[in-house]
Amino acid sequence: MIPYGRQAIDESDIEAVIAALRSDWLTTGPRVNDFEDAMAAFTGTSHGVAVNSGTAALHCAMQAIGIEPGDEVIVPAMTFVATANCVCYQGGTPVIADVCRDTLLIDPQDVRRRITPRTKAIIAVDYAGQPADWDALRGIANEHGLILVADGCHALGATDKGRSVGTLADMTTFSFHPVKHITTCEGGMIVTNNSEWTESMRRFRNHGMTTDGRQREEGKGWQYDVPGPGYNYRLSDIQCALGISQLKRLPQWLAHRRMLAERYTEALNYVEGIEMLSVRSTVEHGWHLMVVRVDSTKAGLDRDHLFGGLRDHGIGANVHYRSLTLLGKFSSFARSCPVAEAASEEIITLPLHQGMSSEELSHVIHALKECCKGAVR
Ligand SMILES: Cc1ncc(COP(=O)(O)O)c(C=O)c1O
């Protein structure tokens, strides 16, 4: 099966992990700071906070900006459920906004319509690897005094007008799950220029404690306080060793992803009934996911039939995502998001990852053409 996304591990990663295993620190050691510094440098931000998942990163962000019961946070309908769940963890209410039809990025006009006196923040997702329209969102945030959080879990290495994902919002979260641009097995990071939030998140990931084990061991004494809430969201040194090693290869992986995306774009232009999502003119896309729309009106195709056909050809197609408004947890209180709901029935994710070869790409395109013929109702 050619998976839609997959990690790429080489000998240098394995050596880095072994070196960590042989060191004094398996967790909360020097590699955590090194990985945080490397991610801050890569994204052009001042601080990184390493945590043990992208979901934990989102939760830390919500806590740092003070989300509490009664607060509303606007999130896009087309995203992974963690983008909304993190608001619920703090007792807040996720308010779901629709997306633009051509990009499936959050629609700034719909965001504006969903603002109430209780709105405190907007989380936008750089869906599939493409930065959202942060300039429009910044305008709205400034008008209403809102905080902007980027769920950048798809978009490490993407840019808009030359500005990196990481610098476009007040705080940006990443995931290092194996299907993402780089992996630490499980893992996540928040980057920001805000020192106060950084300190707050460093405590929150470590039970709310004011010092961590290494600080206490390396001479600051045994004392600590717990001034507020916290969890165990720590990322280990072993995982950070892997992350540092992976990050070194990210530029070449991004170039490979962009090459694959270009070849997909050229080829899919000639497949009746398959429509690419638009790429905004100012962005350099990160191409985490190759999401295409199956246009059932034009060619009489059926997305689920196509999905099954691709699986029969050994292609691990997937669907990212069902609109949050269609999920049981949110459907009772969310207002409908017609664009995201329609897209939920039409989109399919094709394989695209750093280890994917040209031969595999040709196989996927060939199979897609075959299935499109076969999928006509
Ligand atoms: C947009 C988005 N946000 C958040 C997450 C959560 O990341 P993790 O799986 O590392 O908790 C993911 C992961 O799939 C994601 O795609």
As a whole number, the mean pLDDT across the chain is 96
Q: Is 53 in the pocket of ligand 1 (CB under 6 A)?
A: yes
Burial class (CB in 10 A: 0-12, 13-18, 19+), 326: middle
Average pLDDT over residues 280-302: 90
Active site residue 180: yes
Centroid of ligand 1 to alpha carbon of 153 (angstroms) = 6
Q: Is 157 in the pocket of ligand 1 (CB under 6 A)?
A: no
Average pLDDT over residues 331-358: 95
Q: What is the pLDDT of residue 299?
A: 65
Centroid of ligand 1 to alpha carbon of 54 (angstroms) = 5
Q: What is the pLDDT of residue 375?
A: 55
Residue intervals of the chain classified under CATH 3.40.640.10 are: 2-247
Q: What is the pLDDT of residue 101?
A: 98
Burial class (CB in 10 A: 0-12, 13-18, 19+), 309: buried
Residue intervals of the chain classified under CATH 3.90.1150.10 are: 250-374
Q: What is the pLDDT of residue 374?
A: 62
Just give the CATH number of 250-374: 3.90.1150.10
Q: Is a pLDDT exceeding 80 seen at residue 376?
A: no
User: pLDDT digit string (tens) for 121-147?
Assistant: 999 999 999 999 999 999 999 999 999
Centroid of ligand 1 to alpha carbon of 185 (angstroms) = 13
Q: Are 122 and 150 in contact (CB under 8 A)?
A: no
Q: Is 54 in the pocket of ligand 1 (CB under 6 A)?
A: yes
Q: From 3.40.1000.10, 1.10.10.10, 3.40.640.10, 3.20.20.210, which CATH number describes the 2-247 domain?
A: 3.40.640.10
Closest Cα to atom 7 of ligand 1: 54
Model confidence at 82, pLDDT cuts 50, 70, 90, reads: very high
- Phi and psi at 214, nearest 5°, equal -70, -40
Q: Is 126 in the pocket of ligand 1 (CB under 6 A)?
A: no
Measured between alpha carbons, how far is 224 from 124 in angstroms, rounded to an integer? 36
Q: Are 136 and 280 in contact (CB under 8 A)?
A: no
Ligand 1, pocket-test mutation among 53, 55, 73, 205, most atoms within 8 A of CB: 55
Q: What is the pLDDT of residue 377?
A: 44
Q: Is a pLDDT exceeding 50 seen at residue 187?
A: yes
User: pLDDT digit string (tens) for 198-257?
Assistant: 999 999 999 999 999 888 888 778 889 999 999 999 999 999 999 999 999 999 999 999
Centroid of ligand 1 to alpha carbon of 224 (angstroms) = 32
Is pLDDT larger for residue 220 or for residue 308? 308
Model confidence at 297, pLDDT cuts 50, 70, 90, reads: confident
Q: Is a pLDDT exceeding 80 seen at residue 319?
A: yes
Q: What is the pLDDT of residue 301?
A: 82
Q: Which tokens in the block code for residue 162? A: 């030359």
Catalytic residue among 180, 220, 298, 369: 180
Q: Is a pLDDT exceeding 90 seen at residue 372?
A: no
